[in-house]
Amino acid sequence: MVLLTRKIEFSASHFYHNPNLSAEENRRIFGKCNNPHGHGHNYTLEVTVAGEPDPVTGMVLDLKELKEILESEVMKRMDHRHLNYEVPELAGQIPTCENIARVIWQLLEPRITQGKLHRVRLYESPDLFADCYRNGASGAGN
């Protein structure tokens, strides 16, 4: 099995607020991320696909195809958008790195027909990221 990874970057704004909690609780739990005017990040997304290289092309999947999938599923939905208001897949969820990574997995997995989606890693900053795997697939801890 070979793993192939493609990286893209997008910029988006968000804030953390749970309407079921009081204003005080929101401030205590989310701190400055609770600012109702929002803030933004340059997100870096690494998408890893696992598979065997095709004997004719030598490719696990065509990178051009992966690039188009990432463009239509992620860039068009999230780049230069407000994640709380403009991404229906995140509606009702706090747009944390964990939740965004999971949503991106759910958007990409059915679109990847050559090879299998292995890992989605989303960096909110160089020091904070979330990894999403299908349960049972080998991750950092397996």
Partner 1 sequence: MNGDALRVELGRRYRFVASHRLHSQRLTEEENYRVFGKCNNPYGHGHNYVLEVSLSGRIDPATGMIANLADLDAFVERHVLEEFDHRSLNEDVAAFRHKVPTTENLCIEIFHRLKHFPHAQLELVRIQETGNNSFEYAGNTEGDRL
Quick note: the x/- pattern for partner 1 over 27-66, rule CB under 8 A, is --xxx-----------------------------------
Distance (Å, whole) CA 78 – CA 72: 10
Residue 43, token pair as written in the block: 């997100």
Distance CA 77, CA 100 (A): 12
Look up 89 and say whether it is catalytic: no
Stretch that binds partner 1, among 5-13, 49-57, 66-74, 121-129 (CB under 8 A): 121-129
Strand partners, 120: 47, 132
Please report whether residue 93 would count as binding partner 1 according to CB under 8 A: yes
Residue 33 appears among annotated catalytic residues: yes
Q: Write down the least CB distance from residue 43 to partner 1, Å.
A: 14
Measured CA to CA in angstroms, residue 8 lies from 17, 31, 81 at distances of: 27, 29, 16
Tokens of 100: 């965004």
User: What positions carry a catalytic annotation?
Assistant: 33, 80, 124
Instruction: Tell me which residues touch partner 1 (CB under 8 A).
Output: 16, 18, 20-21, 29-31, 93-99, 101-102, 105-106, 109-110, 121, 126-135, 139-142
